[in-house]
């Protein structure tokens, strides 16, 4: 397929930049290569409002029939991204090329859904959430937020971190491949690249500096980490229930 076909099929959801294969999210390298080719083929063009971008990657427009609420105020959804019916986008927010946002999801103010990120059904991306994107390296899986997850305000999730279904990420948590995650319930440290388990409740934490950093330890300096403090129960679910009237 050429890059134009790939962008068209990304928008309809026929193609995705990552797919779950045997329980593991894997990058669709053909799709990601097509997106890169689209960038190479694009030429700078002036758009209304004083914007300049590649001529073949304009912002998407929605109609009532799409059943997407694109609230006025400065949001933008780039060509080649999929936004399902029932999604709400509060201003200002940005959804980049190759991203997939499934039905019932809320993308709140100042939230970013980066290139090729995969967002499941009924996810809440709170205000100021940053979901990292990744086009290169081609084979690297993007950030994935599975169905019914709740991502608290100001959280940052990057470098292909995957968050399991129903997980709750507290406000201000930073998750990357370099930030260790301590499962305090099961008394283990997640392996690098291991997804945040389904229904986990994750908060920010700190830990002593590395054993090799004697000076830092003498000063009592701490390094960032994330803590799984519980797994979601009925009480937690009730406190996070999304009001259907907002839809």
- pLDDT for residue 161: 97
pLDDT of residue 246: 58
How far apart, in whole angstroms, are the C-alpha atoms of residue 139 and residue 129?
Answer: 25
Please give the C-alpha separations between residue 123 and each of 51, 107, 120, 144, 218, in angstroms, as whole numbers.
Answer: 30, 8, 6, 11, 43
Q: How far apart are CA 242 and CA 246, in angstroms?
A: 8
| DSSP 8-state secondary structure symbol assigned to residue 10 | H
Confidence at residue 240, expressed as pLDDT on a 0 to 100 scale:
63
Order of all β-strands in the sheet with 181-183: 69-70, 88-89, 106-107, 124-125, 150-151, 168-169, 200-208, 222-231, 181-183, 188-189
The alpha carbon of residue 211 and the mean position of all alpha carbons in its chain are separated, in whole angstroms, by 33
End-to-end CA distance of the chain: 36
Cβ neighbours, 10 Å, residue 111: 25
* Closest C-alpha to 112, from 135, 89, 85, 82: 89
CATH assignment, 3-176: 2.160.10.10
User: What is the model's pLDDT at position 217?
Assistant: 85
Residues in the chain: 247
pLDDT averaged over consecutive 10-residue blocks of the chain (247 residues)? Answer: 96 97 94 96 94 96 96 96 98 98 98 98 98 90 96 97 98 96 98 96 93 86 96 72 57
User: What is the pLDDT at residue 38?
Assistant: 97
């Amino acid at each position: 397929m050429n890059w134009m076909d790939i962008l068209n099929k990304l928008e309809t959801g026929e193609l995705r930049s990552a797919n779950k294969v045997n329980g593991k999210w894997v990058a669709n390298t053909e799709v990601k290569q097509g997106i890169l080719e689209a960038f190479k083929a694009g030429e700078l063009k002036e758009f209304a409002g004083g914007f300049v971008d590649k001529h073949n990657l304009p912002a998407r427009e929605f109609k009532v029939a799409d059943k997407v609420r694109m609230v006025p105020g400065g949001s933008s959804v780039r060509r080649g991204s999929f936004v399902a019916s029932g999604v709400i986008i509060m201003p200002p927010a940005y959804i980049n090329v190759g991203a997939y946002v499934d039905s019932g999801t809320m993308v709140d103010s100042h939230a970013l859904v980066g290139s090729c990120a995969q967002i499941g059904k009924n996810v809440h991306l709170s205000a100021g959430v940053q979901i990292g994107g990744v086009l290169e390296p081609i084979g690297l899986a993007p950030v994935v937020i599975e169905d019914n997850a709740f991502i608290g305000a100001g959280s940052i999730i990057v470098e292909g971190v995957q968050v399991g279904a129903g997980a709750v990420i507290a406000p201000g948590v930073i998750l990357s491949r370099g930030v260790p995650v301590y499962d305090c319930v099961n008394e283990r440290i997640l392996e690098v690249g291991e997804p945040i388990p389904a229904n986990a409740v994750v908060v920010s934490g700190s830990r002593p500096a590395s054993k090799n950093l004697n000076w830092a330890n003498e000063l009592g300096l701490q390094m960032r980490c994330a803590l799984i403090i519980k797994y979601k129960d009925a009480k937690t679910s009730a406190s996070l229930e999304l009001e259907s009237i907002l839809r």
